[in-house]
Structure 1
């Protein structure tokens, strides 16, 4: 079975869930060798790459899709399927209303930013454990930059990103 691949793509919250799951697995088991296991992309035979590469691509995926405030863009049906500010319904009244993003959509997600800050720190720790100090330092810098715009006017913060 290929999961729910018929649903399509455009989900910007998915990449960091992979980092979260792998980091939790490594914390529980101490099995860092899983990061070297070959895993196919999109279940396509012949596309295998080490799980670590999947994590790196997931981390970069978020960084390549930032909005005007430096926060991740919300995608199609992210984290709260009914709150999708880039989408419009082509069938009013349906219970699950998502379509492709409108051209030029710039709705940002503080939730995905918080997810990135939390699990990005885990990604940095895994990189450091692998001896990739430059990757770890760059990841930590990206996490700090992501946290910065998560606060509104000083003293009236609407939320925070990360730990």
Structure 2
């Protein structure tokens, strides 16, 4: 899909405020509300816009520990990958996971209530899985740059 400058401006506006109305988008982009709404719908239907979410405060929800965990598997293959993916899907505290090159097979982003919860996740869940050979965790001390919009411009 080819994006024109107006599409890019629309996407930038939606990354800042996913709840913007067609009227608000139109005013920002010098379009009518119906034009802005049609463009947004076209981008949604094309899969460029995959959805909308609320951005929640982990601290206000009692999730005071954020960590990144590198996981190395003992064996590799399609079934092993599916088995570990099933484990990931059952754990709400694992908010995102990536497969990686290098020493780690997976990088997990986790949010836990406290260090005891993080320790339990590492020892009782991850290391207890028969495919996991090693984990390395890093606790987030601060986030000087928040998760940012995608660089679309």
Range class of TM-score, shorter chain: under 0.3
Question: Which one has a larger percent strand, Structure 1 or Structure 2?
Answer: 2
TM, length-normalised to structure 1: 0.22
Question: Which one has a larger percent helix, Structure 1 or Structure 2?
Answer: 1
Q: Which entry has the higher C-alpha Rg, 1 or 2?
A: 2
